[in-house]
Every structure is written in C-alpha cells, then in structure tokens.
Amino acid sequence: VDGSVLDREETYEDATSTAEFLLSRTDHRPTIGIICGSGLGGLANVLTDTDSFEFRDIPNFATSTVPGHASKLVFGSLQGKTVVVMQGRVHMYEGHTAKQVTFPVRVFKLLEVKILIVTNASGAINRTYKMGDLMVICDHINLVGLAGLNPLVGDNDSRFGPRFPPMSSAYDNDLRSIGLKLSEELGMKEFVREGVYSFQSGPMFETVGECRLLNVLGADVVGMSTVPEVVAARHCGIRVFGVSVVTNCCVMELDSDDQEPSHDEVLEMGEKRSADVQRLISKFVGKIID
C-alpha cells in the first residue's frame, strides 16, 4: 500500500471526486450496494450489462491483498435492479485504516445507494451452529470500535451523518424479515440462522479463551470485517442487510482434536456455499423496494 495513501484521512471531497469519476464512466445509477466476503465474489459474475473497475484504477480506493478478494467494483443489473458490487473488500488487518476500509461505502452514499448488502465468512462461536450454515446478521459486537478504532473517530462531517449515530437497529428489521422469509421459500430453512456477528481485527484466528469470551458476550460468529462498513453505512443513513457464511467452527476446548481454522478452509467453504448465497441475495434484490 502506498504510504502516502495511508497517512491521510479521506474527506467528503475525496468521496465526491471518486463518485464523479465512476459516474462519468458508467451509465448505471445503482440504488443497492453489495460487498462480497471471502470466497463469495461469484455474485458479481451473475450481473448483466456490467461495467467493471479494478480497485487500483479507482481514485482513493485501497486494494485488497487477501486471496478470495478480487478487488473489482462491478456495476450492472441484477433481477431488474441496478446494483454496484464490491467483488472483494479491504480489511483493517491489511494495514488499512477504518476510514479507508469504509471509503467505498461513503462513495456508495454519494452514488445514492439506499441499501447495502454485506456478506462475509465467519467462524461459529455458537456451539449449535454448523459449518456451511448461513447466518442473517441481526446485530454486531464491535470490539475494535469500542476500543476506539472505528471510521467515525475524528472530525465529523455532518454531510455524511450525525456526530452520535445510534446503532441499536443497525441491521434493518424489515430487510431481515424479507431475507429470512425468502430463505425459507428457497428451501434453506435447515441451514439458515439469525444471529450476532462479532468483529475482531485479525489477522490471527482466535484463541480458545477468546472464543469462550465471545460466547459469554453473546456472539454467535466471529470475523474480521463488515462491522466498520456497517457503521459507516448507518452513519450516512444507508439501510443494511447482512449474511454471514459459517465457514468453520471455532475451537472452544483446549487440547481438543478439533480442526484449527485456516484461510484455505474458509475459502473452500465460502465457495461451496457461494451458489446458495447468490440465490438468496439475487432473490432478495429482486424483492426489496429500494
């Protein structure tokens, strides 16, 4: 990552110039933004009539260094709606600031996106969850943000949103209901849950003690992304729907024979469930009023 990019804070003017850059190169005017998690970027391939940009060619965008994150921004049509899809995301553990990680969301706002769909891969903390489950996110625990590393720290630009935004209904109740109903209609009831996503910075996976702590705190799954994006989206009034793919079960006992997590396993399970995520998100996009 270019140090000069790391050292400065992205401003409203930066987001405006990035939005203008994109709007002058595509005729699409998306109202729905989608961020694809590890191994889940295939969703971008089902869009039609696409205009695609590499993150590295977009002014002020950071580029992902993580396998399974293609670093492309794809505009196109999905189920009759105009959408913009991040095929891959950037994470704070890559060395990006919270503001860089969430910069695309603020650009989405200036593109007049109204609804953000976030997807990710996560590890199960809830002992009743199984590998391959999908979890509609109903809430999050922002351990990193509570400790002061979040995109809203610093000067507040009220053109984006208020100084003190509420987060008590971060994951829109109506959108969750629609998502859960559609998952039933698609015959996914057996493996679709609703639960709480906890965010730790990574890149290391959790110790047994950390997993147990998260369990006591009420987390159902844990991951290394999504929450900064959701905080930035809610700050600027974008409604959020989130789906997590449980790619592995966290190790909850010391000296157990349980499989240790690895990114290869995460990608493998993400790709296995990718078709189901695509079906659910496509149907969801077709159904929602944006």
Ligand X SMILES: Nc1nc2[nH]cnc2c(=O)[nH]1
Strands 115-124 and 134-142: unpaired
Restricted to residues 91-130, the positions that interact with ligand X (CB under 6 A) are 121-123
**Shortest CA distance to 54 belongs to which of 70, 36, 77, 32?**
70
96 is catalytic: no
89 belongs to an annotated ligand binding site = yes
Q: Tell me whether residue 42 or residue 202 sits nearer to ligand R1P (CB atom).
A: 202
Q: Tell me whether residue 37 or residue 151 sits nearer to ligand R1P (CB atom).
A: 37
Angle, vertex CA 128, rays to CA 258 and CA 172, nearest 5: 125
The DSSP bridge partners found for residue 135 are 193, 244
Q: Total residues contacting ligand X (rule CB under 6 A)?
A: 15
Site string for ligand X, 183-212 (x = CB under 6 A): -----------------x-x--xx------
135 is catalytic: no
- Spatial neighbors of 246 by CB under 8 A, at least 6 apart, are 122, 123, 124, 129, 130, 131, 132, 133, 134, 135, 221, 269
Set 183, 248, 274, 282: catalytic member: 248
How many Å separate Cα 223 from the centre of its chain? Answer: 10
Query: Contact with ligand R1P (CB under 6 A): which of 118, 231, 266, 269?
Result: 266
225 is catalytic: yes
Set 15, 224, 233, 269: catalytic member: 224
142 is catalytic: no
Q: How far is the CB of 14 from ligand R1P (least distance, A)?
A: 23
Segment near ligand X (CB under 6 A); pick from 134-142, 176-184, 219-227, 235-243 = 219-227
Q: Does 132 bind ligand X (CB under 6 A)?
A: no
**Shortest CA distance to 82 belongs to which of 50, 45, 58?**
50
Q: Does 222 bind ligand X (CB under 6 A)?
A: yes
Q: Does 224 bind ligand X (CB under 6 A)?
A: yes
1/91 Cα distance (integer angstroms) = 12
- Spatial neighbors of 216 by CB under 8 A, at least 6 apart, are none
**Shortest CA distance to 279 belongs to which of 152, 137, 171, 119?**
119
250 binds, among ligand X, ligand R1P, none (CB under 5 to 8 A by kind): ligand X
**Which residues of the chain form contacts with ligand X (CB under 6 A)?**
121-123, 200, 202, 205-206, 222-224, 247-248, 250, 261, 266
Annotated binding site: 38, 69, 89-91, 121, 206, 225, 248
